[in-house]
Structure 1
């Protein structure tokens, strides 16, 4: 059985160059999958923002929304119409006090993963913190209990197991950016690698 297929003519306008459609939802992870209980889970904000720590219950008190978004991995697969439930980034940001000098964010995750994102890319209305996938609690393999989803960039920017945002004045490189990936990762421009 083939795991990937070419997009149909109707789908082709939604699939960036060089991508194939995945029949399932592949799981790609560098390193071990963190095991974090809801009771222990914390989300920290620091850097050029008022230091704050959020618990799982704090996120659940925010408005929950359903999102349908296409998902593009730098390893050349895409999945269309992925259905998520979560919290809008813009709703979460309304809780923070961020210094006007902040222009970039480093996403931090359980397990030590990091990835950078420009503040303008982060603040887009379609971005969200996902806590459910296709109506089920987000599995550990897919980044549960919570991951960021940034649909307009390659999926390494949609950090699994996210547990913190560090606000920065200048751009710094995260894990994959230090290891040859593009600093931004826009699928339609095929911003896969830094060379």
Structure 2
């Protein structure tokens, strides 16, 4: 049989799946800086402001009223572990932003979280259709340790860019560093380029 039908002898089944320097995780590790905030879904709010025509605040009910998608994505942590084929349910970022008129001068977004964590993305990186606000992990409500009730999922970048306990999106006229970016992490964080730290 050809390669498309049968794994060749000695071929690594993870070939092409793990970025450089990554290893496959056992389980789903939890890494958090600072305290873990606990927010009940009915109390959760997403404030969207900054370089927008008008500030918008979404509730849990608003989020669930948007088109829902269940999908799988690989998850790569800057601390060198990866978890493959994680199943999530949530709302695509472009669908969330249908309620918002982003101003022409907007070039970036700062994700602001319950508990004070922040991380930045350029607007181009943020509005990609494979990015989500997720509320369900493997068919269950997103656990608080993994960012529940709602986190962003930015699967093409290292996981520190997928902000846990998301509570705000501040659109900015220029890119600015968030918490880890101010502390030596790369401004972008692309796993396949090993953009781990600011000097890489």
Measured against the shorter chain, the TM-score band is over 0.9
Structure 2 residue aligned with 1:4: none
The count of residues paired between Structure 1 and Structure 2 equals 188
1:93 pairs with 97, 105, 125, which one?
97
- Pairwise CA RMSD of aligned residues? 0.8
Name stretches of at least 5 consecutive residues in structure 2 with no aligned partner: 1-10
Q: Whole-Å Cα distance in 1 between the matches of residues 34 and 123 of structure 2?
A: 27
Show the 5 A alignment for 1:73-84: 73-84=77-88
1:12 to partner: Cα distance: 2.2
1:178 pairs with 150, 168, 182, which one?
182
Q: Whole-Å Cα distance in 1 between the matches of residues 44 and 95 of structure 2?
A: 20
1:14 pairs with 2:21: no
1:72 pairs with 2:76: yes
Q: Whole-Å Cα distance in 2 between the matches of residues 54 and 121 of structure 1?
A: 22
Show the 5 A alignment for 1:34-113: 34-49=37-52, 50-113=54-117
TM (norm. structure 1) is: 0.95
Q: Whole-Å Cα distance in 1 between the matches of residues 17 and 99 of structure 2?
A: 34
Considering only CA atoms, is the larger Rg found in Structure 1 or Structure 2? Answer: 2
Q: Whole-Å Cα distance in 1 between the matches of residues 178 and 29 of structure 2?
A: 23
2:146 pairs with 142, 149, 163, which one?
142
- Runs of 4+ aligned residues of structure 1 deviating over 6 Å after TM superposition are none
